[in-house]
Amino acid sequence: MDANLLRLYPDAMPAICRDCLTSFETAPSRCSNCGRPRILEHPELFSLSIAHMDCDAFYASVEKRDNPKLADKPVIIGGGRRGVVSTACYVARVRGVKSAMPMYQALKLCPDAVVVRPRMDEYVKASKAIRAIMQDLTPDIEPLSLDEAFMDMTGTTKLHGAPPAVMLAKLINRMRDELGLTGSIGLSHNKFLAKVASDLEKPRGYSVIGVAETAEFLKDKPISLIWGVGSVSQDALSKAGIRFFKDLLRWDRRDLSVRFGSLGDRLWHLARGQDRRRVTANAAVKSISNETTFSEDTSNTDILDGHIWRLAEKVSDRAKARGLAGGVVTLKLKRADHSLLSRRLSLREPTQIADRIYRTARNLFDQSSRSGSYRLIGVGISGLVSDSDSDLTTDLLDPNEQNRAKAERATDAIRAKFGNGSILKGRSLR
């Protein structure tokens, strides 16, 4: 038991068994019902209702589920040697493989890895199945991507006859039993802390951050913990002497806002564990984008192309999770001298297909000046509409477009029957 929790809460420590869902007023060392040790205890366990669920290495987990021969092997989801890593299973991550890492580097670290091309149709199918289970718990679900979502379970205790903490454990058990997939839960009193909590004990984690412990929990944490604060923002904060949450607490709210604009005001609130954002099932979204900052500036076209593909996949992933499509594709480039270049193109019709987003972004890249090196690249879509109004027609100037989409689905079917190595896309052989 955490010493800080004992200090904050000297009395009751309610708990649940994560396996059989038995509740306890005081946590035992083992469940008295099933005898297992997977006991979750926290003094505020039954009073918190804001949750974040994040699947464990989602793409890789789907591949391992569908191909049991991969179960104990390091699996990397991505393209050929000149591509980049989309994601990797935990076996590969232990070897040092990370998302956005160039494939050649990943294979140096993990030469025995099995490289699998993404099967987006299967990931979307699995995501919808998970979402259906979530909807049995609450209608207030805010998806972030195919594999993660916020849930607000305020007021659901009477409906389910059990507090949110118990129902969230049931969600994870159903995902495992019905879908063969695992996930991690973060439970807290706001969205920021719920997301932080879900990352604390992955994979198959379940972490709780209560109101009373928030300040103590955050004090010594690095600001990189904040979702959306990337390396560029971290560099700017570091120059101001801000590396940890306790550093933020020394700043006046006005001074932070003057120095860092809207980010400064947000940081002031987050430093105190405050996040007023609501979980919104139908939040208005104007655009969907993803970007990456390189550890080293690069002018290598193959590396940049690999990143464009991965970013297009990420954008497609998020669009599909929300049932949206975009009519405008945007490419963002930042040169080594920090000058920013942005290009956008309106499509003949909205799309959520990764291939179309990639090809459009790649054309924008080819039309841009490519002299010198780049330190950041981003891809996004805007002009969002329902996915029911997307990808309806064929481009007469690209008659193979529909064929590629059909070929992708046919490829997925062949792989499902004969194995992932039975057929390869040309891009994976670059």
β-pair type (75-78, 114-116): parallel
Flag whether the pTM goes above 0.85: no
Residues 318 and 382 in one domain: yes
**Tokens coding 230:** 């990337």
Residue 242, domain CATH: 1.10.150.20
Per-residue pLDDT of the chain (430 residues; tens, 9 = 90+): 454 544 544 556 899 999 999 999 888 889 999 999 999 999 999 999 999 999 999 999 999 999 999 999 999 998 755 578 889 999 999 999 988 788 889 999 999 999 998 888 899 999 999 999 999 999 999 998 899 999 999 999 999 999 999 999 999 999 999 999 999 999 999 999 999 999 999 999 999 999 999 999 999 999 989 887 777 788 889 999 999 999 999 999 999 999 988 889 999 999 999 999 999 887 677 889 988 888 788 888 888 888 898 899 889 988 888 888 999 999 999 888 878 888 999 888 899 998 899 999 999 998 886 678 898 899 999 988 888 877 776 555 555 666 655 554 454 345 445 544 444 444 433 3
Residues 250 and 345 in one domain: no
Residues 377 and 319 in one domain: yes
Residues 385 and 342 in one domain: yes
Residues 291 and 387 in one domain: yes
242: in domain: yes
Taken in order 409, 426, 315, 381, the sign of the CA dihedral is negative
Residues 300 and 388 in one domain: yes
Q: Domain span at residue 224?
A: 215-271
70: in domain: no
46: in domain: no
267: in domain: yes
301: in domain: yes
> Whose structure tokens read 């029911």?
388
**Predicted pLDDT of residue 407:** 52
Residues 306 and 363 in one domain: yes
Q: How many angstroms separate the Cα of 212 from the Cα of each of 11, 40, 42, 48, 153?
A: 14, 18, 11, 12, 20
Residue 310, domain CATH: 3.30.1490.100
Residues 305 and 374 in one domain: yes
249: in domain: yes
User: Count of domains in the chain?
Assistant: 2
Residues 219 and 300 in one domain: no
56: in domain: no
208: in domain: no
Task: Just list the catalytic residues.
Answer: 148
**Predicted pLDDT of residue 414:** 52
Q: How buried is residue 9: exposed, middle or buried, by Cβ count under 10 Å (0-12/13-18/19+)?
A: middle
Residues 267 and 296 in one domain: no
Answer whether 361's CB lies under 8 Å from 307's CB. Answer: no
Residues 309 and 358 in one domain: yes
